[in-house]
Amino acid sequence: MTKLTIATQPIAGQKPGTSGLRKKTPVFMGPHYLENFVQAIFDVVGCAGKTFVLGGDGRYFNDRAAQVILRMAAANGAARVIVGQGAVLSTPAASHLIRLNKTDGGIIMSASHNPGGPKEDFGVKFNMPNGGPAPEGVTEAMYKRTTEISEYHIWESQDVDLGKIGRQSLGGMIVEVVDPVTDYAMLMESLFDFKAIAAMFSGGFRMRMDSMCAVTGPYAVEILENRLGAAKGTVVNAVPLPDFGGMHPDPNPTWAHALMDEMFGQNPPDFGAASDGDGDRNMVVGAGIYVSPSDSLAVLAANAHLAPGYAKGIAGVARSMPTSAAADRVAKAMGLECFETPTGWKFFGNLLDAGRVTICGEESFGTGSDHVREKDGLWAVLLWLNILAVRKQSVAQILAEHWAKFGRNYYSRHDFEAIETAKADAMMAELRGSLAGLAGREIEGMQIAAADDFAYTDPVDGSVSKAQGVRIMFADGSRIVLRLSGTGTEGATLRLYLERYSAGPQGLDLDPQQALAPVIRAAHTLAAIATHTGRSEPDVIT
Ligand code: G1P
Ligand code: ZN
């Protein structure tokens, strides 16, 4: 074995976004591409004598990239790397291992819910010792390093056998291969009443969990089928595949349509759920009823105390700004602090670390708690199961009671994808320019109360994030939010978030798109979406 120092040159565009560096797989497989970025990570966070966690969602190139990262960690002097068997770890499981082993952070290989395969997406991100995604200051430093890099270090050696659990040595560095599921499953057992959930399953409760040929398959089979006794076959698409079997592992009604068909078909199971490529997102569905992520967050916050891990009550709730205010109503009723943060999980990290909140969520199918520092798909599924087991009601009954008590925030997100960037920017600029004159105006029969461009001051460290999305608030509690996606790979994606509040007791069971019709019209008029982009219909509705 020889330690090599390879001369390299900066490669343009290695700028990590909120979820790390994401590119097409062939780009990542190009000469020095992965190596340059990994060296930039080590140069910024330091490597000598350190311990890291390594794993990914199992997508195409995951196994090869892991070998490169291990050889580079060894050559940069790392003491130990804890790797999921087969180089696989779900994102929440990686976050947990970082915290459990008090490591110096971890490298996660994933492009989340984006398709995988030789022509699809790949990604690498660094998580901090608290288990959460690197903050902007750190990712900026990594990016800067990629623009000046001139060499990287790597061992020339055979592959490490990542199929074999246990300790091996690579150039003096310990490679510790661990079962990807065991520690995570134990964490879940410590939070939830497995006995009560198992009793519900043995009493005939039926569930369908769609792992979408992505990373949660082995986790869901072990926890739901093996430990909780759900019927064999409860978990479908349970074997992770390098190309996710051609699926788009994004758990929403559009991409998880097979699950939706089953849950709205004849004799549906009692409960359905799906998760994404790396296991941090979730969608939950009852028999014949869809649970919007914003409502899911509110129901989980209102009922978390029914699970042993949260029996003492929760400290507070945080939601991303575009997420509906359903959770705010729960927080208010329970006398809890409630925070509205910009889009992106990293904004929850400080609040969780400071113990200000216990439960967080985003409208984009992300929910989680202070047990890790990532959103966690299976955690949300298990908390729902715990609640169902204790309340002994259907999902539909739980939602109906929730709305009767708190009122209902009708909610929907309309995505307009692959818009020409210049056109999307022009539309947002014009809208931002008009905000000052909007308050007091009436549009489509609705009275505008206030309008702004959302800015956030972190209550813990005082940092300020500006221009996080345009908000138009109406006198009746309705709301429109517009922002451009920060994760899209093709042109610009306009996200239009629509919300309307109904206090009840009447009008709690309308179709959301119908309930939102005036709000949708107002949004199109205000932002002149069709005039600017040529689009009048969204590509994806969630
Ligand atoms: C999207 C979601 C956002 C989530 C992010 C990463 O970002 O909207 O809530 O945190 O993916 O999973 P966007 O493309 O809207 O910037
Ligand atoms: Zn994800």
**One domain for residues 168 and 220:** no
329-351 confidence digits (pLDDT tens): 999 999 999 999 999 998 999 99
Nearest residue (by CA) to ligand 1, atom 10, is 344
Domain boundary among 119, 150, 178: 178
- Residue 395, pLDDT above cutoff 70: yes
Domain boundary among 146, 178, 210: 178
DSSP string of 309-341? Answer: GGTT--SEEEEETTS-THHHHHHHHHT-EEEEE
Q: Edge-to-edge strand order for the sheet containing 207-210?
A: 235-236, 207-210, 271-275, 282-286, 289-291
- Residue 184, pLDDT above cutoff 90: yes
Q: What is the pLDDT of residue 389?
A: 98
- Cα of 212 from ligand 2 centre, angstroms: 12
**One domain for residues 243 and 123:** no
278-334 confidence digits (pLDDT tens): 999 999 999 999 999 999 999 999 999 999 999 999 999 999 999 999 999 999 999
**One domain for residues 339 and 310:** yes
Q: Of 110, 112, 296, 320, which one is the catalytic site residue?
A: 112
Q: What is the pLDDT of residue 136?
A: 84
- What are the residues whose beta carbon lies below 5 Å from ligand 2 (ion)? 112, 276, 278, 280-281
Q: Which residues pair with 124 in a beta bridge?
A: 21, 109
Q: Tell me if 485 CB under 6 Å of ligand 1.
A: yes
Residue 489: which pLDDT band, with cuts at 50, 70 and 90? low
Nearest residue (by CA) to ligand 1, atom 6, is 344
| Helix, coil or strand: residue 368 | strand
- Cα of 278 from ligand 2 centre, angstroms: 5
Domain CATH number, residue 444 = 3.30.310.50
Q: Check: CB of residue 452 under 8 Å from CB of residue 481.
A: no
Atom of ligand 1 nearest to the CA of 362: 9
Domain range holding 462?
Answer: 408-541
- Cα of 378 from ligand 2 centre, angstroms: 12
Nearest residue (by CA) to ligand 1, atom 11, is 487
**One domain for residues 478 and 517:** yes
**Within 10 Å of residue 388's Cβ, how many Cβ atoms?**
24
Domain boundary among 384, 406, 428: 406
Indicate the number of domains in the chain: 3
**One domain for residues 105 and 171:** yes
Atom of ligand 1 nearest to the CA of 112: 12
**One domain for residues 213 and 91:** no
- Catalytic: 112? yes
**One domain for residues 239 and 217:** yes
**One domain for residues 134 and 192:** no
The pTM of this model reads 0.96
Nearest residue (by CA) to ligand 1, atom 4, is 344
**One domain for residues 18 and 128:** yes
156-173 confidence digits (pLDDT tens): 999 999 999 999 999 999
**One domain for residues 522 and 425:** yes
DSSP 133: B
- Residue 3, pLDDT above cutoff 80: yes
Residue 505: which pLDDT band, with cuts at 50, 70 and 90? confident
Rg of the chain taking only CA atoms, in angstroms: 23
Pairing of strands 470-474, 479-484: antiparallel
Q: Tell me if 20 CB under 6 Å of ligand 1.
A: no
**One domain for residues 70 and 100:** yes
Q: Which run of H or E residues covers position 464?
A: strand 464-465
- Cα of 128 from ligand 2 centre, angstroms: 17
**One domain for residues 492 and 365:** no
CA distance linking residue 357 with residue 279, whole number of Å: 22
- Tokens 């500006």 map to which residue? 466
Domain CATH number, residue 329 = 3.40.120.10
